Structure 1
Amino acid sequence: MNQVIELIKADVKKEKPAVESLGFGKHFTDYMFVMDYNDEKGWHQPRITPYAPLVLEPSAMVFHYAQAVFEGLKAYRTKDGRVLLFRPEKNVARLNTSCQRLSIPQIDEEVVLDAIKQLVEVEKDWVPDKEGTSLYIRPFIIATESSLGVHPAHEYKLMVILSPVGSYYGDQLKPVRIYVEDEYVRAVRGGVGFIKTAGNYAASLKAQEKAEERGYEQVLWLDGVERKYIEEVGSMNIFFKINGEVVTPKLNGSILGGITRDSVIELLKYWGVPVKEVKISIDEVYDAYQKGELEEVFGTGTAAVISPVGELGWKDITMKIAGADKEDSIANRLYNTLTGIQLGKQEDPLHWTVEVK
């Protein structure tokens, strides 16, 4: 469907940054999408407006009770100039899952998906064309009602902002070092670990600082009860190739169901590579490492796509992953295939891309 969205023209357009200086999430385009909610009108007044600061009451409930959810997806420039989205319907559906858990009114997924397409169409010139770059799309919803009562808000704002980005980790396929966190807890079953909400990321910062002090780029979280079962990395889901088989932690109510994670599982099955979702402990991973059976470790996520892991640090143990940077690794094959599909360079056998027209 095509909804009528008001377009409020910007008086002045920004100068686009040099592609070499993009980084991640540092620059923002000329426009954003905005839609409001109240109990009387529901979701209403969809509009594309110039990117600008927000004006909110100091008592806006998002500041006090953290009703805030978000998503992350990307638009890619093909060699022939087309702009492709990768499985955007999955992100919009997951946004509704997050809304449901935090008592935020459900969105019309078709309306929001159409809004994202229209916004990207308006900002097509911001989609970079250098390899490894893309236009990051950040939809989010916040509670805007002015109230200090502890209850679900009656007013919300949904926005979508866009940011041209480079590779998340710089040299995309350079193996990262990950610290296994066994002191702090990210999430428990019955909580909010399976959704994308701001509080999850605030709660992860202390462990991230701890990891960085030890020379690691990311944190690998263990379960919040027994502190031994592997869950996910701060910005990625995690996969292990053990004795020829690829395994990843089974979704259990405290792990985010990543879109890239799901795509990797589907691709591996399509290729006939053994893959399974299981409950796996850090002890089992270390045991496989000691036996020489831990062949690869890699993370998956929208920002990083595929990120090989070269080292796991757990307590006073260092596990060096020998297969992390091999050209014939599963991680490399997955990265090349996924980015090839996203950039329109390879066949899309599972029909994942959506062209913005």
Structure 2
Amino acid sequence: MTLEFALTRSERPASDEARAAVLAAPGFGKHFTDHMVSIDWTVDGGWHDARVEPYGPLAIDPASAVLHYGQEIFEGMKAYRRADGSVWTFRPDQNAKRMQRSAARLALPQIPEELFLEAVRRLVEVDEAWVPEGGEDSLYLRPFMIANEVFLGVRAAQTVRFMVIASPAGPYFTGGVQPVSIWLSREYNRAGRGGTGAAKCGGNYAASLLPTQIAVANGCAQVLFLNEGGTDLEELGGMNVVLVKADGTLVTPDSESILDGVTRNSLLQLAEDDGHRVERRPVTLAEWREGVADGSITEAFACGTAAVLTPIAALKSTEETIGDPDAPAGPVALALRKRLTDLQYGRAEDPHGWMVQLTGAR
């Protein structure tokens, strides 16, 4: 599907000096580029009115469905500046497909893959100056979809808006690639059987915020959720989890309530490329506990678009600590992280053709 994109440039773009100051220390999700993409959808007219327009507040009716029933989904991806000045993104087809699956679960329209990618491309082209250079900074891209029909009845909305915004991003965890401790939530669940766990929707993240506050209060960087029965690992508040066994096998939890992580899938593929065995299956808390105790599990890490890969030193709860909070990052986790980031920034070969060019070399 192709649409013509109208372009309205911002009359008040950031000055070169202001933009340079942001790019020197972008943080994460604190600053936004000069423009955004909007595409409208109606049940009768389909996708239409594609536009790149100045970034700014939305005029939204107080009765819009998204404000009352949470009918919304989003994605997270990045644009990377290479040494020659060109800008690339990583596996956008997978983000587009996952957004389609999320849309189906939330009773939202599925945006065509080619329109999704074109929207990303158009925003990066007009705001290319915001893509950082050097290090491992990037331009974080946030495609999202909201139900904006003015209607308080409980049904799927008949008008929707798809948007893309962008934010220069530094490391998600400011301490760099340092192992973190995570908190085991026994009181709260992220999702359940038949729920929205496999969809990337705001409600799943909202449900994780209170447990995350508890985790931080206990000196941990993130929270890990279990399944409804309290026996199996699920995922963190915003990342997948992977265990590494002494024989080099990588094990990751698999269930219908876990988000299918693009970063996790990519890391596991790279691990297989390097000769590691990969297992996607239910993983019990007891397996982690006993594996650390007998030495059969030697590493653990969390992974996602924002943080890429973060080693896990210890899993803490009120009852126990699994692992050593002072443990260093493991060699498998560090090697996989380097493999992925080198590929994303064009420092290494891309054997699977995952990278997609958005703008040309300077």
Short-chain TM bin: over 0.9
Q: TM-score, normalised by structure 2?
A: 0.95
Aligned to 1:285: 288
Answer with 70-79 or 167-176: which moved more: 167-176
| SS of residue paired to 2:353 | coil
Which deviations, in whole Å up to 9, do the C-alpha atoms of 1:110-134 show, x marking residues without a partner? 1111111121111111000131210
2:2–2:114 Cα contact (<8 Å) kept: no
2:147–2:159 Cα contact (<8 Å) kept: yes
**Which of 350, 353, 360 is 1:351 aligned to?**
353
Following the alignment from structure 1 to structure 2, what is the Cα–Cα distance between the partners of residues 19 and 344? 20
Aligned to 1:71: 75
Aligned to 1:330: 332
Gaps of 5+ in 2: none
2:3–2:48 Cα contact (<8 Å) kept: no
Q: TM-score, normalised by structure 1?
A: 0.96
1:297–1:321 Cα contact (<8 Å) kept: no
How far off is 1:321 after superposition?
Answer: 4.4
Which deviations, in whole Å up to 9, do the C-alpha atoms of 1:238-294 show, x marking residues without a partner? 011122233333432100000011101111111111221121111111011111222
2:233–2:253 Cα contact (<8 Å) kept: no
Aligned to 2:145: 141
Aligned to 1:197: 201
1:297–1:324 Cα contact (<8 Å) kept: no
| SS of residue paired to 1:356 | strand
**Which of 100, 105, 110 is 1:106 aligned to?**
110
Gaps of 5+ in 1: none
2:250–2:279 Cα contact (<8 Å) kept: yes
1:208 to 2:209 alignment: no
Following the alignment from structure 1 to structure 2, what is the Cα–Cα distance between the partners of residues 260 and 313? 25
1:296–1:324 Cα contact (<8 Å) kept: no
Following the alignment from structure 2 to structure 1, what is the Cα–Cα distance between the partners of residues 128 and 119? 14
Following the alignment from structure 2 to structure 1, what is the Cα–Cα distance between the partners of residues 315 and 199? 26
**Which of 210, 223, 227 is 1:219 aligned to?**
223
Answer with 316-325 or 256-265: which moved more: 316-325
Q: CA RMSD in A?
A: 1.5
Following the alignment from structure 1 to structure 2, what is the Cα–Cα distance between the partners of residues 26 and 103? 31
Aligned to 2:278: 275
2:179–2:327 Cα contact (<8 Å) kept: yes
| SS of residue paired to 1:84 | strand
2:180–2:325 Cα contact (<8 Å) kept: no
Q: What residue identity is the alignment partner of 1:292?
A: G
Which deviations, in whole Å up to 9, do the C-alpha atoms of 1:213-257 show, x marking residues without a partner? 111110011002x11100111111101112223333343210000
Q: What residue identity is the alignment partner of 1:11?
A: E
Distance 1:120 1:164, change over 3 A: same
Aligned to 1:120: 124
Aligned to 1:261: 264
How far off is 1:2 after superposition?
Answer: 6.4
Q: What residue identity is the alignment partner of 1:339?
A: T
> Percent identical across equivalent pairs?
40
1:57 to 2:61 alignment: yes
Aligned to 2:11: 11
Following the alignment from structure 1 to structure 2, what is the Cα–Cα distance between the partners of residues 86 and 50? 25
Following the alignment from structure 1 to structure 2, what is the Cα–Cα distance between the partners of residues 93 and 107? 9
Distance 1:66 1:322, change over 3 A: closer
1:308–1:324 Cα contact (<8 Å) kept: no
Which deviations, in whole Å up to 9, do the C-alpha atoms of 1:67-107 show, x marking residues without a partner? 01000000001111111100011001100100000110111
